[in-house]
């Protein structure tokens, strides 16, 4: 059997170069012109035939007809100014502080490995280079464009790097079996009252007073309506309203963040927020308009596929290199894939605090141990090859 780790090590410098190039022109959302062009050019260089998918996605196939596994990497950055001081720091005002440049470079490396060993594949590997993960919108867009069809996807694998904590030791793989990440939703509550001068409050309806009562009432969902085992969150993160200091406010707005570990709990929280907001506003003669702005369900790692992929990582990297962890508090666009086909997201350590990597994800000073990148490429390729052999 091919030594994928050795082959990946042989192209390590190219994987690192790809990562650094993408890093310098960090782009956000669906506006990924340079990144998409670069990915397409590299795939063609490796002998593949890339195709556009959706607004700014790229896909390609490797292998032969049969069962199909999808390998996903996200490509977008965050709208923040980089503060790493690296010689290849972003020049765009955006920053790859979530590691998507690493994901893209690793999947490009895997594409080369898979193409070089195409005869060994007992099925098809579909590559998914995805935009707009930070907007929780890119995966849904590519699904709408048919990424899971033609050929139909049977399973999916994603890798996310992590750095700057106690568990992110370089080259280790952490995974959750079953529930893996929380859901995440943003809800806007617009409260309509009636302006009135402070000297004649009986002529108005105070939207700020309604907002205050709503904030207090929403806390009761977690305190009294959910199990203490559910680990749910209802957070009013933003509130504003009113016009002047001496008048009753005719308007106010609350922005609420919601997190849950299961889809049922997620739906319950969103329903109760709507019911409470509308009822409280009605009690004080006002009106509440509740809008679900955006969101994503909880990520669920298929248990059987999780165990298989963890085993393949141990075969590839050595015994003791994987660690099973409980679900984490983040939210991931990969959920859109995982809710449709058996899937797993692996977490690849790229520098722990003990190793001197003190800045974590979404920090503009985050740096990673690039010596791990070739291992990520090998995991993608080897995991896909082993999955296709088993099924």
Q: What is the DSSP string of 321-347?
A: -EEE---BS---TTHHHHTTS-EEEEE
Cβ neighbourhood burial of 284 (10 Å; 0-12, 13-18, 19+):
middle
- pLDDT tens, 1-39? 679 999 999 999 999 999 999 999 999 999 999 999 999
C-beta of residue 139 within 8 angstroms of C-beta of residue 334: yes
What was the pLDDT predicted at 225?
Answer: 96
Q: Are 191 and 288 in contact (CB under 8 A)?
A: yes
Tell me what the pLDDT averaged over the chain comes to: 97
Calpha distance 218→220 (Å, rounded) = 5
Is the distance from CB of 387 to CB of 122 less than 8 angstroms?
no
pLDDT for the residue 229? 87
Q: What is the spatial distance between Cα 202 and Cα 192, in angstroms, rounded to a whole number?
A: 16
What mean pLDDT is predicted for residues 84-94?
Answer: 96
Residue-wise DSSP of 271-321: HHHHHHHHHHHHHTT-EEEEEEEEEE--EEE-HHHHHHHHHHHHHHH-TT-
Radius of gyration of the CA atoms of the chain, in A: 24
Kindly report the number of other CB atoms within 10 A of residue 217's CB atom: 16
The phi-psi region of residue 209 (left if phi > 0; otherwise alpha if psi is between -120 and 50; otherwise beta) is alpha
Question: How many whole angstroms separate alpha carbon 353 and alpha carbon 322?
Answer: 18
**pLDDT tens across 161-194, in order?**
999 999 999 999 999 999 999 999 999 999 999 9
Q: What is the mean pLDDT of residues 321-331?
A: 92
| Mean pLDDT value across residues 112-136 | 97
What residues have CB less than 8 Å from 326, skipping those under 6 apart?
Answer: 176
Q: Where are the domains of the chain?
A: 4-181+298-390, 184-296
The percentage of the chain sitting over the pLDDT mark of 70, rounded to a whole number, equals: 100
Give how far the C-alpha of residue 175 lies from the chain's centroid of Cα atoms, to the nearest Å: 15
Read off the pLDDT of each residue in 200-212 and give the average, rounded to a whole number.
Answer: 97
pLDDT at 1: 63
What's the distance, CA 75 to chain centroid? Answer: 11
Q: Which uninterrupted H or E stretch holds 256?
A: strand 251-259
Architecture category of domain 4-181+298-390 in CATH: 3-Layer(aba) Sandwich (3.40)
Name, in order, each residue with C-beta under 8 angstroms of 35's C-beta and a sequence gap of 6 or more: 22, 25, 27, 75, 76, 104
d(CA 243, CA 248): 8
178: left (phi over 0), alpha (psi -120 to 50) or beta: left
Helix-, strand-, coil-residue percentages of the chain, each rounded to 5:
35, 25, 40
Domain 184-296 sits in CATH 3.40.47.10: no
Q: How confident is the model at residue 71 (pLDDT cuts 50, 70, 90)?
A: very high
């Amino acid at each position: 059997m091919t030594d994928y780790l050795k082959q990946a090590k042989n192209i390590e410098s190219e994987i690192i170069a790809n990562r650094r190039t993408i890093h310098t022109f960090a782009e956000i959302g669906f506006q990924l012109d340079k990144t998409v062009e670069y990915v397409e050019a590299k795939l063609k260089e490796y002998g593949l035939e890339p195709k556009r998918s959706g607004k700014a996605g790229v896909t390609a196939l490797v292998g032969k007809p049969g069962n199909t596994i999808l390998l996903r990497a996200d490509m977008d950055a965050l709208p923040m100014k980089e503060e790493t001081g690296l010689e290849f720091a972003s020049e765009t005002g955006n920053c790859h502080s979530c590691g998507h440049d690493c994901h893209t470079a690793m999947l490009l490396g895997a594409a080369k490995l898979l193409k070089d060993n195409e005869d060994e594949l007992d099925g098809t590997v579909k590559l998914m280079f995805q935009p707009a993960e930070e907007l929780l919108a890119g995966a849904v867009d590519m699904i709408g464009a048919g990424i899971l069809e033609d050929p139909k996807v049977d399973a999916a694998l994603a890798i996310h790097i992590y750095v700057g904590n106690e568990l992110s030791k370089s080259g280790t793989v952490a995974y959750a079996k079953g529930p893996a990440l929380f859901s995440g939703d943003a809800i806007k509550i617009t409260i309509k009252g009636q302006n009135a001068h402070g000297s004649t409050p009986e002529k108005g309806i105070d939207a700020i007073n309604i907002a205050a009562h709503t904030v207090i009432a929403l806390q009761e969902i977690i305190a009294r309506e959910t199990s203490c085992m559910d680990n749910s969150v209802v957070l009013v993160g933003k509130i504003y309203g009113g016009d002047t200091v001496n008048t009753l406010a005719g308007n106010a707005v609350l922005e609420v963040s919601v997190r849950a570990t299961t889809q049922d709990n997620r739906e319950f929280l969103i329903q109760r927020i709507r019911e409470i907001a509308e009822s409280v506003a009605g009690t004080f003669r006002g009106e509440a308009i509740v809008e679900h702005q955006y969101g994503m369900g909880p990520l669920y790692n298929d248990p059987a596929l999780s165990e298989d992929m963890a085993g393949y990582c141990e075969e590839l990297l050595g015994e003791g290199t994987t660690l099973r962890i409980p679900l984490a508090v983040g939210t991931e666009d990969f959920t859109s894939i995982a809710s449709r086909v058996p899937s797993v997201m692996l977490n690849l350590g790229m520098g722990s605090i003990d190793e001197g990597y003190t800045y974590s994800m979404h920090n503009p000073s985050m740096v990673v141990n690039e010596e791990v990148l070739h291992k990520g490429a090998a995991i993608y390729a080897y995991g896909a090859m082993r999955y296709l052999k088993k099924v």
